[in-house]
A and B are shown apart, each in its own frame.
Chain A
Amino acid sequence: DGGITQSPKYLFRKEGQNVTLSCEQNLNHDAMYWYRQDPGQGLRLIYYSQIVNDFQKGDIAEGYSVSREKKESFPLTVTSAQKNPTAFYLCASTLAGGNNEQFFGPGTRLTVL
């Protein structure tokens, strides 16, 4: 079955620790995205990547880092510099082209204690 996987579903970390969230897709999609969702805030774009070995900052990139070494994978690292890391993190991917919808993974709920 083709799809996007994110693991784990729930993640707990202590304040000051870096944590990496995984995102893998086997849809052969070109572009991948990381969003953060907080209550009442909607989806906010953190980073996105159109092709392998290239990525761009979104609207709230501070305190986050990404890599795109393989087409299928786009891991997100939440660093200790991120002031409010507790949130629901969603990964999405899409084929190139304007009329292609974004497909979302199930999300990771990160709680920093």
Chain B
Amino acid sequence: GQNIDQPTEMTATEGAIVQINCTYQTSGFNGLFWYQQHAGEAPTFLSYNVLDGLEEKGRFSSFLSRSKGYSYLLLKELQMKDSASYLCAVRGGNNRKLIWGLGTSLAVNP
């Protein structure tokens, strides 16, 4: 079957760095997405990886290893507003829809 695993909850301190992991098992692979979702709001796009390696975008970076079925989202210089759920999603072999993880709820404390 197809499956995406992420930790359910994480806690970090303002100004610190946090890494949110995502492992996946899918039928085919056509890219991995990270989204941020604040409570009661819609998800917003953060990053996209289709090739192995690190993609950096400001305070956020995302890494992909296709051979290991593994990705992580790295958040630097954490701010209180980064408290949100972070969703990992994979576009499988049929290329038409995304397979979603359950999300990681991140709490940033002062």
Contact = CB atoms under 8 A, between A and B. Distances in A.
A84 interface: no
A43 to B, nearest CB: 4
B87 A42 contact: yes
B45 A98 contact: no
A41 interface: yes
A64 interface: no
A86 B40 CA distance: 14
A42 B100 contact: yes
B5 to A, nearest CB: 11
Contact of B41 (A31, A58, A106): A106
Nearest to B105: A40
A31 B96 CA distance: 9
B41 A107 contact: yes
Contacts of A40: 102
Interface in A24-70: 31, 33, 40-45, 48, 50, 56, 58
Contacts of A107: 41-42
Given A98-B50, A102-B98, 16 more contacts: A42-B101, A42-B103, A43-B43, A43-B89, A48-B96, A50-B96, A88-B40, A90-B43, A98-B95, A99-B48, A101-B45, A101-B48, A104-B42, A105-B42, A106-B41, A106-B42
Interface of B: 30-31, 33, 40-45, 48, 50, 87, 89, 91, 95-98, 100-103
Interface of A: 31, 33, 40-45, 48, 50, 56, 58, 88, 90, 98-99, 101-107, 109
